[in-house]
């Protein structure tokens, strides 16, 4: 995995998910380029994914 290693990769995944969430929210509610329901659905899925990922990470520690 290059210079990241196993632990670094685990820290990058939540950042990528969070940035995707922010992009979806901006495209939905500010630029209005994504319809409101699919945008809200995608952001809800991303939030739940982050919560599950965080809980799994805490339980693993």
pLDDT given for residue 61 in this prediction: 66
| The pLDDT of residue 1 is above 70 | no
- Using the structure block, give the residue that is written with the tokens 């809800």: 44
| The pLDDT of residue 2 is above 60 | no
pLDDT tens for 3-45 read: 555 556 667 777 887 888 888 888 888 888 878 888 888 888 8
pLDDT given for residue 19 in this prediction: 85
pLDDT given for residue 15 in this prediction: 80
How far is 23 from 58, CA to CA, in rounded Å? 26
pLDDT given for residue 58 in this prediction: 86
Q: Could you say which DSSP state residue 31 is in?
A: S
Are 38 and 27 in contact by the 8 Å Cβ rule? The answer is: no
């Amino acid at each position: 995995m290059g210079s990241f290693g196993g632990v670094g990769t685990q820290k990058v995944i939540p950042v990528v998910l969070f940035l995707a969430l922010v992009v979806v929210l901006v495209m939905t509610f500010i630029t209005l380029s994504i319809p409101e329901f699919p945008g809200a659905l995608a952001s809800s899925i991303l939030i739940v994914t982050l919560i599950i990922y965080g809980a799994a990470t805490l339980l693993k520690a």
